[in-house]
Amino acid sequence: MEIDAATHRTLAITANNSTWEFIDIPDAERTIDDTEEMLRRAYAAAYHWARAEGRTRQNDARAEWLLSRVWRATGNGERTLHHAQRCLVITEEMGLKDFDLAYAYDAVARGLAMTGRRDEATTWWERAMAVEIGNDGDRRQLMSDISDAP
């Protein structure tokens, strides 16, 4: 059965948003099954975004960011860094600024910190904190998400 691009878009949004149900569970309370479901939903979101109506490379960057975020929640620094670096490459290739750039830098910083590369992590986190964010709401969201150094 062929799924049309509009349906892929709907499924991408649903998978993306529902992933947060599991990210928001405190690490000590997230079960193995919760973790597996969180990963499945994040990968489903990336899969559907790649086929979605109106898809842009920004969607790809954000899908990679989400994958980095779920791997961070599992404690797997190598996978966190892998997806963070993929997010950063797309972000830079597309010339994305603002919100997307700051989150990409932060994801790299957290992946580096998880792999024991503290000095590099600090540099990337400082880059994230220095990105100019034009929208006040986006800036407040970013600060609440990344104000704690990795």
Tell me the domain boundaries of the chain: 82-150
- Produce one character per residue of 56-95: b if its CB has 16 or more CB atoms within 10 Å, e if not: eeebbbbbbbbbbbbbbbeebbebbbbbbbbbbebbeeee
Would you write out the chain's pLDDT as a tens digit for each of its 150 residues? 899 999 999 999 999 999 999 999 999 999 999 999 999 999 999 999 999 999 999 999 999 999 999 999 999 999 999 999 999 999 999 999 999 999 999 999 999 999 999 999 999 999 999 999 999 999 999 888 888 888
pTM comes to 0.95
Per the rule left: phi > 0, alpha: psi between -120 and 50, beta: everything else, 100 is alpha
